[in-house]
Amino acid sequence: MQGTGDVGRIGLPPLGTRHRTTVDGTEVAWAETGSGEPLILLHGIGDSGRTWRRTAPLLARRFRVLIPDLPGFGESGRPDAPYTLGWFTDILDQWMDAIGLAQAHFCGHSYGGGIAQWMVLTHRPRVDRMALVAAGGLGREVMLGLRLAAIRYLEVLYTPAAMGIGTRMAMKGDLHNFGNPEPVEIEEIVRMNSLPGSGMSFARTVRGVIDVFGQYMQTCREVAAAESLPQVALFWGDDDRVIPVSHGRMALQRFHGATLSVFPGGGHFPHLLHPARFAEELAGFLLDSSRKPARILFACPGGPRSEGPNALPVAQCANCTWRKALDWTRMMTP
């Protein structure tokens, strides 16, 4: 079931034409703007599609830009669901079917970057090219607040009021790292994160990829098993205090043929701090006919699927060393 609504809320610049599509009983809110090759923009944890508000109008000059609010966030529904990477990718796969979209470029920010990588693993024909912006799943380190949020018994504290207060404090406490958001945009994300069910979706999403020691879900343990890899580009702020830029540099060594664009002085939201440069470099990557698909230079030997059609000679990965040393602690966390 699909529906079309007005664009934007009062005082907020619209992302494009708003739609609502029901997928597997869950309502997915999404916006659409521009024309050309389809490009899906994915946001991160505790965020919404509005994170692309400064770049979507620029990208819409060359692409058909589709911007979903991931289930559990933004204006989308908040079902009683597992909120794992696999669940999100299955929902996106069904959403693409529902709107008649066979394939698209994927650009994912933070957790959205992890979803984009999982789409390559589980729904490879859907993904044309893949852009990762300060993406999760490429290293162990992550900000302390998210590691603490992974403690299961804290979920009872994530009431709508607490989610709103926490969102406002986090964003106002580090404006630069959050892309210098406009005051009205801070209040909008506070409103959305205060909706019933937001605490549940936030906690379950975090626990699906993070424990108290950092990111335990590592794509380096999985990605070599993909049937093929797309062209890959990475984008990162050099002052990212959520996921460090060192993860991007490590990924650049792992993916042959990938590129990394670093934004000086940029925090965790380079697409918000440097929208013009980001949009231009992303468009250049997506339209470059000379770019070849990525290949794996090394995969984690500790991974359950470390050998595959895209794996080149295997070497030990620092992330794998951490994973082997700390996996037992996760087993002890109920």
DSSP 137: S
**Burial call 74-102: b when 16+ CB within 10 Å, e when fewer:** bbbbbbebebbbebbbbbbbebbeebeee
Q: State the pLDDT at residue 219.
A: 77
| Tens-binned pLDDT, residue by residue, of the chain (334 aa) | 565 544 445 568 889 999 999 999 999 999 999 999 999 999 999 999 999 999 999 999 999 999 999 999 999 999 999 999 999 999 999 999 999 999 999 999 999 999 999 999 999 999 999 999 999 999 999 999 999 999 988 888 899 999 999 999 999 999 999 999 999 999 999 999 999 999 999 999 999 999 999 999 987 677 767 778 999 999 999 999 999 999 999 999 888 999 999 999 899 999 999 999 999 999 999 999 999 999 987 655 444 443 444 544 434 444 444 444 444 334 434 4
What does CATH list as the number for 2-142+214-331? 3.40.50.1820
Q: State the pLDDT at residue 323.
A: 45
Would you call 22 helix, strand, or coil by DSSP? strand
**Burial call 279-301: b when 16+ CB within 10 Å, e when fewer:** bebbbebbeeeebebbbbbbbbe
Give 313's contacts (C-beta < 8 A, 6+ positions apart): 298
The interaxial angle of helices 183-193 and 198-207, nearest 10 deg, is: 90
Q: In whole angstroms, how large is the CA radius of gyration of the chain?
A: 19
Rounded Cα distance between 76 and 68, Å, is: 8
CA distances from 34 to 30, 109, 130, 185 (A): 14, 20, 19, 23
Q: State the pLDDT at residue 78.
A: 98
Q: State the pLDDT at residue 155.
A: 85
Q: State the pLDDT at residue 92.
A: 98
Name beta bridge partners: 63: 37
Q: State the pLDDT at residue 2.
A: 60
Domain boundaries in the chain?
Answer: 2-142+214-331
**Is pTM, for the whole model, over 0.85?**
yes
Rounded Cα distance between 317 and 301, Å, is: 8
